[in-house]
Structure formats: structure tokens, C-alpha cells
Amino acid sequence: MNIWFSSDWHYGHQNIAGPKVSTWKSGYRNFNSTQEMNNTLIKNINDKVKEGDVLYFLGDWSFGGAQNILYLRNSIVCKTIHLLLGNHDQHIIDKDISIGGGPIFNPYKLFTSVDTTFTGYIGKTFFHLSHYSHRVWPKSHRGSIHLFGHSHGSSKGEFGKSMDCGVDCHPEFRPFHIDEIVQLMSKRESEKVDHHG
């Protein structure tokens, strides 16, 4: 079993896909279309994250309502996905939704767990996971690792043993393996910003 981390896929989000389809002046990826971005996301995830692996996803799953939530989840082969809600996961928060007036379903049930944060051991490493970046988090002064998303690599908030694990931050546009993260964080020192430690 392998453990993976990612966030901010924004599946189906036209404005983040690329300059040819976005109405934004900046802050987008470099795809020619939303469909190209969607296909690349699914391929890159499934090439690495296998059926028996575990994926922690730190928010902003998809855009386009219930249909894209369900389609993306059904396209990912990994069976165990722990979702930490992001600011664009309102349709998942809605719980009871339907597609095109069809049967009502609960998107919570598409995931192994749904929460806002996670704090605890994953393997032998203590993590604090959240959609948002923090300067102080549980055991930060004792070397715990804080992973976050939301910022798409634009944040200057990587501090001590904290890291943006969003898909835009991986050079291969894919989730991070736990070993990659532990190795990267082993090169950083914990930073103390208050009286703790």
C-alpha cells in the first residue's frame, strides 16, 4: 500500500485550464481546453495512485456541480480517498444532490471519510492536513509536517515543515507520495514563531 497527498484538482474548471479558454488574466494552467486538463488529471492520478493505495485529498475536488463530482470519483481507481473539504467543495457539503433531476445521492458516500482537517500519524510521521496554510499547527515546534492546498503554488506561506501539496506544485502534475514529502521535509528545520519550543 502506498500513501499519496494532493489537492486542488479543480476538475472541470474552465478558468483554471489555460489561457486559450480562461477569462482570467493569470493564475491558470497551460492546457488548450478544459477536457485536455481533465484527461491529463485522471491519467496522471491513475498512473501513480493504484486501487489499493490511500489518497489524502486536501480540497477543491471539482467544478460543474454534482455530475463532475461523481464522474471524477468514478474515474479514479483508488478505493480509499480521505477528503478534507476546500472552499470550492460546496456541492459535496450539500450532501443530498441529484444529477439532471435524477435520483438523489449523497456525495459524502463517494469518499472513505470527509472532514475539514486531519491531525495524527500517517505511517510513522505526524501530519497536520488542511486546505489552508498555517504558521502554527499541532506539534509544529516538534517537527510535525503540515500539508495544505488552496494556493496553487502561489503562496509565500511555506513555513518550516509546511508544504503546498496541490497538483500544481508537483513537477509531473500528479499527487505526492509520502516518501517524497518526508524526504523534502527532512531537509527543512522547524521554525518557531511563538513561545512554544
- Bridge partners, 126 (sequence order): 121
| pLDDT in the model for residue 190 | 80
Residue 81, all three cell numbers: 480517498
Give the separation between CA 157 and CA 74, rounded to whole angstroms. Answer: 33
Question: For strand 3-6 and strand 54-57, is the pairing parallel, antiparallel, or unpaired?
Answer: parallel
Pseudo-torsion of CA 33, 167, 66, 70, nearest 10°? 100
Q: What is the pLDDT of residues 43-61, one digit of tens each?
A: 999 999 999 999 999 999 9
Average pLDDT of the segment spanning 66-84: 95
Q: What is the pTM of this model?
A: 0.94
Q: What is the pLDDT of residues 102-132, one digit of tens each?
A: 888 888 899 999 999 999 999 999 999 999 9
Q: What is the pLDDT of residues 134-168, one digit of tens each?
A: 989 999 989 999 999 999 888 776 778 999 999 99
Give the separation between CA 69 and CA 73, rounded to whole angstroms. Answer: 6
SS3 assignment, position 170: coil
Give the separation between CA 18 and CA 147, rounded to whole angstroms. Answer: 26
| pLDDT in the model for residue 197 | 64
